[in-house]
Amino acid sequence: MTRRLAQLELAIGAALLAIIVALVFSAAIMRFFGTPLIWSVDLAQLLFIWLCFLGATKAMREKAHIGIDLVVRLLGHRTRLAVEIVVTAIVLVFLGLLAVEGYKLTMLNRQRLFGDSGLSYAFVTSAVPIGSLMLAGALVFNLVGAWRRRRDGHTLVYSRSDPLAPAETEL
């Protein structure tokens, strides 16, 4: 199931990026000819914030965010799991606050128009609470995986691109 989700995220992310590039390129071309497409830049910005949260969620699930684990690697497996639980709890609280405040902001911006596009600014601000929930889901997924692997002694899962990852670590 996670493989399907990763494929779907990749497809949506690639589509969003292609649309953003096409919108910005067409805006530049039309501006060159003296007929600017102001709405296309607004729409590109709207799609970009969604792309950022989608990419952050994918990176969170794959543990591909930049991390400094020099000290954590020296700890025992149980201590690593405890550190992961504490850090995940702190980040989940932050994401919960971000989701609540993002929802409030979205409700405040329902009537506001986004630039010259005619779209509600709520489409932009709704990326914050929805993205926060997606990130929280990825964190919980990682924590459940770490909990299930606790008896194997592999509480940390490294990303596929991590050159320092131990060879025996399950990916």
What pLDDT is recorded for position 93?
97
At 20-70, the pLDDT tens digits run: 999 999 999 999 999 888 888 889 989 999 999 999 999 888 887 777 777
What pLDDT is recorded for position 164?
42
Whether the CB-CB separation of 78 and 147 falls below 8 Å is answered with no
What pLDDT is recorded for position 156?
53
| Residue 116 reports pLDDT greater than 60 | yes
Mean pLDDT, residues 65-84 taken together: 80
- Measured between alpha carbons, how far is 29 from 6 in angstroms, rounded to an integer? 34
- Measured between alpha carbons, how far is 50 from 9 in angstroms, rounded to an integer? 12
Look up residue 2 and give its DSSP letter: H
Task: Determine which of 4-8, 16-20, 159-163 has the lowest per-residue pLDDT on average.
Answer: 159-163
Q: Where are the chain's structural domains?
A: 2-148
At 117-171, the pLDDT tens digits run: 778 888 889 999 999 999 999 999 989 888 888 776 554 555 555 444 444 444 3
What pLDDT is recorded for position 167?
44
* pTM of the predicted model as reported, rounded to 2 decimal places: 0.78
SS (H, E, C) 9-26: HHHHHHHHHHHHHHHHHH
What pLDDT is recorded for position 157?
53
- Report CA torsion sign: 106, 107, 108, 110: positive
